[in-house]
């Protein structure tokens, strides 16, 4: 096989691949064997028909055509493997056959145009100071919001004769008309004021009382009646207000596993703190990737346009310029990140252990709430295993890279990201324990083999002694 690489632009290469007649022979012979068991030629048993007779019977071009897909796939993959450091595909190839052999022994040539990862040089990260925009957190407000939300979960509804206001719950009838034609009629037994998607409904309801009726007009912003003025009639059958439970120890016992309100508050504060740590870690991750993306990164424009057009088509004719621009921007952002993390993984020579893969698959399966064995089968069945492994490698490289940099907030204060990046001392202990376990296992295996060898030697000596007698 002969391969010539032509770089068309920073993100596209063309492989010109030629397979000799000798290279093709195993594939052609395999296909001939299949055909030999299917055709009948007088004087020969099925499966024992000579190659020349098969070629004469069905034609060499027919045999080649049946084998062609496997041939191209095999030699394309072989060409990639031989040039893996220079050609790193990020999309499926466009294949064109440039020469088909007319008879056995002739060459097959084809070209493969491939979108590839561009060559980039990432900036220095060792000891570099990277500024992070740390999310502002008002702990007291978040605590109050969490407690209020919890109280809403244990609230009761009480009838009221007061004027309707936001967050009241209504039993109401709603009818919608297009001119004089009624197009919708429904009963809302527990409608919360302030949650409507119908323009003008909540505004009309506020200030009404139980038993009152009202009419208003509105213009839908989407759907089959988009842009058309419709009329709505609403009748309030009942009004209830939400009554929240008193915030005390009794409430804490009812709403949580804690006996006192103080314990409940402390638990919520820990959740807020953990959430903030996660937000800081995510912000640091984004800042790190933005720092890496500061270099020039050529993007495969044709590929991005194709993906963009595909997503925009799903939106239909209603797609706005802003939506189209957002889709393209998100695709470019994702592509940049993939290229950068690929390069970072290579620069750091990041390798995955079995433990890394198992942990990543376990965490991902848990996120999707799927049992691990079922998740692994799904990934393999959908042909996503290599992509999953690549993502796991990216994640590990990201952590390895971030450990080399220093992260500070807007005031220059160093950020503690150990809960996200892991503790180096703990990792060293874990690695040492793993190495010791492997050493003990190796020593045990060696001792076992030595023991077995000794027993075998002893048996041999006994056998020799008996022979001597």
| Domain annotation covers residue 54 | yes
Residue carrying structure tokens 């060696």: 446
pLDDT at 425 (0 to 100): 55
| Domain annotation covers residue 262 | no
| Domain annotation covers residue 258 | no
| Domain annotation covers residue 181 | yes
Going by C-beta distance under 8 Å and a sequence separation of 6 or more, which residues neighbour residue 292? 122, 123, 125, 340, 344, 401
- What CATH number should be reported for the domain holding residue 40? 3.30.70.1050
Same domain, 206 and 77: no
pLDDT in tens, 225-251: 989 999 999 999 999 999 999 999 999
Whose CA is closest to 57, among 44, 70, 68? 44
DSSP-derived secondary structure letter, 86: T
| Domain annotation covers residue 149 | no
pLDDT at 50 (0 to 100): 84
pLDDT in tens, 87-126: 999 999 999 999 999 999 999 999 999 999 999 999 999 9
Same domain, 42 and 71: yes
Mean pLDDT, the chain, rounded, equals 89
Domain coverage including residue 445: 433-458
Whose CA is closest to 154, among 260, 253, 251? 251
Same domain, 373 and 437: no
429 vs 64, higher pLDDT? 64
The residue-averaged pLDDT of 213-225 equals 92
Number of domains observed in the structure of the chain: 4
What's the helix, strand, coil split of the chain in %, to 5?
50, 20, 30
pLDDT in tens, 38-84: 888 888 887 788 888 888 889 999 999 999 999 999 999 999 999 99
The residue-averaged pLDDT of 207-216 equals 97
Same domain, 13 and 50: yes
pLDDT at 424 (0 to 100): 56
Cα–Cα distances (Å) from 176 to 185, 190, 233, 249, 302, in that order, read 6, 19, 6, 48, 48
Same domain, 186 and 71: no
The residue-averaged pLDDT of 341-364 equals 95
DSSP 351-381: ---HHHHHHHHHHHHHHTT--HHHHHHHHHH
| Distance separating alpha carbons of residues 12 and 8, to the nearest angstrom | 5
Q: Do strands 94-99 and 108-115 pair parallel, antiparallel, or not at all (unpaired)?
A: antiparallel
Percent with pLDDT over 90 in the chain: 79
Cα–Cα distances (Å) from 222 to 184, 227, 314, 430, in that order, read 16, 8, 16, 57
Same domain, 408 and 442: no
pLDDT at 27 over 70: yes
pLDDT at 261 over 90: yes
pLDDT at 137 (0 to 100): 86
Going by C-beta distance under 8 Å and a sequence separation of 6 or more, which residues neighbour residue 9? 298
Same domain, 95 and 178: no
Question: Structure pTM?
Answer: 0.72
The domain boundary, picked from 215, 243, 271, lies at: 243
The domain boundary, picked from 194, 225, 243, lies at: 243
pLDDT at 95 (0 to 100): 97
- What CATH number should be reported for the domain holding residue 179? 3.10.50.40
HSE (side-chain half, CA atoms, 13 Å) at 407 = 25
Going by C-beta distance under 8 Å and a sequence separation of 6 or more, which residues neighbour residue 50? 44
pLDDT in tens, 153-211: 999 999 999 999 999 999 999 999 999 999 999 999 999 999 998 999 999 999 999 99
| Distance separating alpha carbons of residues 115 and 13, to the nearest angstrom | 7
Same domain, 82 and 196: no
Same domain, 287 and 409: yes
pLDDT at 445 (0 to 100): 43
Edge-to-edge strands, sheet with 2-9: 2-9, 12-19, 108-115, 94-99
Q: Which of 40-49, 214-223, 270-279, 367-376 has the lowest mean pLDDT?
A: 40-49
Same domain, 413 and 454: no
pLDDT at 440 over 50: no
465 vs 37, higher pLDDT? 37
């Amino acid at each position: 096989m002969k391969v010539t690489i032509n770089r068309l632009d920073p993100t596209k290469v063309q492989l010109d691949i030629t397979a000799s007649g000798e290279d093709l022979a195993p594939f052609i012979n395999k296909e001939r064997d299949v055909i030999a068991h299917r055709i009948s030629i007088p004087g020969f048993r099925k499966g024992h028909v000579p190659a020349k007779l098969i070629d004469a019977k069905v034609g060499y071009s027919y045999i080649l055509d049946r084998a062609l897909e496997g041939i191209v796939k095999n030699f394309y993959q072989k060409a990639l493997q031989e040039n893996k450091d220079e050609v790193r595909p990020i999309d499926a190839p466009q294949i064109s056959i440039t020469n088909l052999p007319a008879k056995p022994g002739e060459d097959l040539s084809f070209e493969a145009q491939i979108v590839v990862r561009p060559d980039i040089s990432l900036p220095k990260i060792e000891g570099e100071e990277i500024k992070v925009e740390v999310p502002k957190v008002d702990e007291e407000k978040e605590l109050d919001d969490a407690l209020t939300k919890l109280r809403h979960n244990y609230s009761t509804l009480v009838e009221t004769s007061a004027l309707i206001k936001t967050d009241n719950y209504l039993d109401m009838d709603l009818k919608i008309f297009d001119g004089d034609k009624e197009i919708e009629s429904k009963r809302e037994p527990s409608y919360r004021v302030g949650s409507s998607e119908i323009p003008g409904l909540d505004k009309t309801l506020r200030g009404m009382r139980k038993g009152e009726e009202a009419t208003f007009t509105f213009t839908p912003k989407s759907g089959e009646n988009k842009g058309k003025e419709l009329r709505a009639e609403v009748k309030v059958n009942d009004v209830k207000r939400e009554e929240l439970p008193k915030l005390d120890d009794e409430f804490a016992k009812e709403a949580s596993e804690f006996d006192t309100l103080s314990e409940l508050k402390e638990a919520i504060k820990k959740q807020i703190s953990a959430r903030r740590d996660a937000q800081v870690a995510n912000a640091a991750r984004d800042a790190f990737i933005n720092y890496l993306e500061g270099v020039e990164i050529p993007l495969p424009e044709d590929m991005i346009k194709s993906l963009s057009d595909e997503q925009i088509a799903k939106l239909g004719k209603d797609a706005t310029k802003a939506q189209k621009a957002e889709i393209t921007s998100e695709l470019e952002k994702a592509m940049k990140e993939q290229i950068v993390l690929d390069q970072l993984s290579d620069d750091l020579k990041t390798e995955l252990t079995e433990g890394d893969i198992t942990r990543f698959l376990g965490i991902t399966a848990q996120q999707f709430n799927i049992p691990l064995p079922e998740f692994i089968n799904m990934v393999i069945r959908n042909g996503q295993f290599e992509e999953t492994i690549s993502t796991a490698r990216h994640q590990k490289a990201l952590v390895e890279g971030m450990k080399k940099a220093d992260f500070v907030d807007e005031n220059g204060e160093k950020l503690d990201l150990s809960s996200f990046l892991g503790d180096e001392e703990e990792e060293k202990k874990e690695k040492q324990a793993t190495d010791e376990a492997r050493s003990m296992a190796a020593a045990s295996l060696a001792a076992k083999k030595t023991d077995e060898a000794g027993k075998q030697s002893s048996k041999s000596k006994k056998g020799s002694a008996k022979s001597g007698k």
